[in-house]
A and B are shown apart, each in its own frame.
Chain A
Amino acid sequence: MPDLDVQIRSYFEATTRPVGVDDLLEYETPVVPPTVVPKPRIRRGMLVAAAAAAAIVVAFVFSLVIPGSEVPPITQPTPTTSLPLSETPPSELFDLTDWIAVYESPPNGGRSIDQGTFLIHPDGTGREEAGDIDGRISNFGLMPDWSPDGTRLLMARGIIGIRRDSDRLYEVDLLTGTTRALFACAGRCISDSYPAYSPDGSSIAFVRRTGVFVSTTDAGGGGSSSLEDSSCGIWVGSVDSLEAEQITSDPACVTTSPRWSPSGGELVYAMGDGADTPLHAIYVIDLATREISQITDLGLDGAEPDWSPDGGWIVFGTHPAQWWDAGDKPQGNLYRVRPDGSDLQQLTFFDSSKPRTSGARYTPDGRWIVFSVDNEIWAMPSEGGEPLRLLTGGRYSQVDWQP
């Protein structure tokens, strides 16, 4: 049998017919594309603006509910048109050959082996395992983050401090399919989580938990283990040397979700107040001076921030909670704010009867915000507007769009 390249070439040569000039002149049903500009920016721009307009409609439809005591004054995007975004096919809005990295939980009653990070096209097709950790396909890979060149994926293995040893960060090389563990987590290190590549791909920011497990033995010979002297902080490590440096210190272990500014000079992150029913705020740290600025009020309970690719905005969700522990938490919504804390804008208007939002991330072109809504992945124009359901039918959360 000939080599694979020869076989493919022979197959295409044998099964395609050339199109000649004479064929064109006889072409009976010519298809003249109405819009032939590659990746038509004008049309997309119109749609984005249209979606911003639809925010007004959405506000009425969803019966806007905002706890007035906790939300600072809000401005709204200016509507310009009323094109119904939800009626536009996804193929008109997205490149359907892009990949979305998304964490998928097992279905109810499913096996835990079914959970992990998968790559899926924006129209829900082409589901593939994103990597192989410890010999198991994408098993337990959480919090995916694409490298800026789109060739690697970062994943964590656990949420802060639930397990020990295995809770490291992993980097999947999508060119080779190989996976490597990052940053030795030994000694007082309990777990690493919330990984994020720097804009140049050379560094990774993450949250590290440290502490000491103390084992006790009772009179009956039984035992238990507790975590003592625990602390957390944001660390930044080198992709090449795997040397890591602590950036912030957080004895209450309420720091989450560091994300880089496009310049690489700052990190935005969320930190709770440590209360039994915690409230959260968004902070920005200048990595050169280590100066920290709180950019949202604690009462807004904002978390899971992401920096827009143009550097102008930070999107975040409020009242962070997952479906399994939402309890009596107020309904969360998405907001955006300038990095200096000005110009706060509410982007979604779900009331308490509507699904819970989390994990907002900008698409690499900055035109969309993708986020999880209960078990689905939705998208919304970055200026706000009518959201679209992208990935449904699974138990999806923690999304990141391929660069």
Chain B
Amino acid sequence: MRALRAFVLGAAATGVLAYAAAAVAAGLAQAQDGLLDVHVGALVVVRVASDGASTVTTFGPGLLVASAIGGLLNALGAAWLARRARRRPPMA
């Protein structure tokens, strides 16, 4: 149960952070009339494209992958901290 909680919280936190970073990057790119294409492997994280008349910002599935990785790392961190706490000798 603790592992699941840690995964969910870590995934939510990483998702929010990744989305915030992508939104800021997209905002800056749009302000400078530039293009942006951030992807992890084949998965798009954020893409800013212009067709001349308008600019389109797309948030892709890369954000979900980043969330899942963050959740996994948080769960591993929680497991490591819990194990370390169990090994610590009781206070005299």
Instruction: Report if A and B associate in a common complex.
Output: no
List A residues at the B interface (Cβ < 8 Å). none
